[in-house]
Amino acid sequence: MTEVLDRFLRYVKINTRSDEFILDRTPTTDVQWDLARLLEKELMELGLQDVALNEQCFLTATLPANTDKKLPVIGFLAHIDTSPDFNGEGVKPQIIENYDGGDIPLKGKAGMLLSPKEFPDLLNYVGQTLITTDGTTLLGADDKSGVSEIITAMAFLLAHPEIKHGKIRVAFTPDEETGMGITHFDVKAFGADFAYTLDGGKLGELEFENFNASQATVTVHGKSVHPGDAKGVLVNAQLVFMEFNAMLPVEQRPEFTAGREGFFHLLKTAEGGVEQAKGFYLIRDHDAHKFEVKEQLMRDAADFINRKYGAGTVEVNIKEQYRNMREKLEPVFHVVETAQQALQELGIQPIVNPIRGGTDGAQLSYRGLPTPNLFTGGHNFHGPYEFANVETMEKAVQVIIRIIELYTNK
């Protein structure tokens, strides 16, 4: 436990926020290199082989097989970037030992509390050790907990050669939070038969179904004239954008959806003015048909506006981010079943729910590397109320090792 905690505390203090609005380079932020280079050094010092950090900040390494038995090559991946949704600079983690079930003051901001009244999952960890923020930053458990767990598992296997295993590949990747970083990952060079991402939350989470996802950029072109001479001529791009947004169903916003219900999410508006207005949307749905209907609804809304105000008034550019990985995992479902077996043998109840989000495993699965997602012990990602449970992080290390053992013994 000390080792995985020490790694985690070291990694979260390094700011690695990505930027979802930079689409022309990977990594999207230079700060991601800081953690990547530290991890590169640590992997070499541990004795892993083929340690390689490429020009796009993808770090890979190999734990060589220590048996002649013909075994599949298993991969384990985690992402190094943290969400751009909240401040990631100057993380000051708080360690709460023997948590008593009460409110936890986030000491960086007066009066701010992490409370089980608002976050009842806290009560699952009474008597255990929690890591929280100080209220001024996110924590970075998404996904530095996964990074810490994978490296700790590799260090354990190196220290215990009596545990036989095949070739293991690990990867630490940039820009997961943008949904686009993994598009640059060289699946063929990675060389795994299947893999697992460690990017989930609470103890027991095992995920093999996620949103279909697109990002839409909506640009409205207005016509600016002096308001004194505006009658019949002025087209206010801001108001037209509002009209466009109002055509999307209110009940399909994130704040009104749950489970397998998809949504339209107005992520950001920019360049607001009479002459031009722009907005960025996330489109999400687990069901492929409903997802396509959502994308078409945005195009239809733009067509309506363009008939009303003139061709070219609204442009909708939809860029696919990732697809639901379930379709690609069902033919090789042993990767899920083996993870379930590992959980159960360790006394962990599997929690199988669709992800209301995405994971690098979605794109990897569609590119030929079946990759379900495992828990890491983090909660409340992307904001100041984020926390992690150390005992669950240790369990995640054990799950990695047990999956490897199960494939060795099959």
Helical pair 390-409 and 2-12, crossing angle rounded to 10 deg? 120
What gap in Å lies between CA 387 and CA 324, rounded to an integer?
27
From CA 189, how far away is CA 368, in angstroms rounded? 12
- How far, in Å, CA of 328 to CA of 233, rounded? 53
Alpha carbon 3 to chain centroid distance? Answer: 24
**Whole-angstrom distance, CA of residue 216 vs CA of residue 9:** 36
In 10 A of CB 26, how many CB atoms? 22
Catalytic residue among 20, 143, 175, 176: 176
Longest dimension (CA), the chain: 84
Residue 328 DSSP code? H
Q: Which two tokens stand for residue 238?
A: 């801001």
Catalytic residue among 20, 40, 81, 285: 81
Tokens of 47: 């004795």
Helix (H) or strand (E) holding 314: strand 314-322
- Sequential DSSP letters for 12-64: HTS--B--TT--SSSSSSTTHHHHHHHHHHHHHHHT-EEEEE-TTS-EEEEE-
Active site residue 81: yes
Active site includes 176?
A: yes
Say if CB 105 and CB 113 are below 8 A apart: yes
3-class secondary structure, 172:
strand
Catalytically active residues are: 81, 176
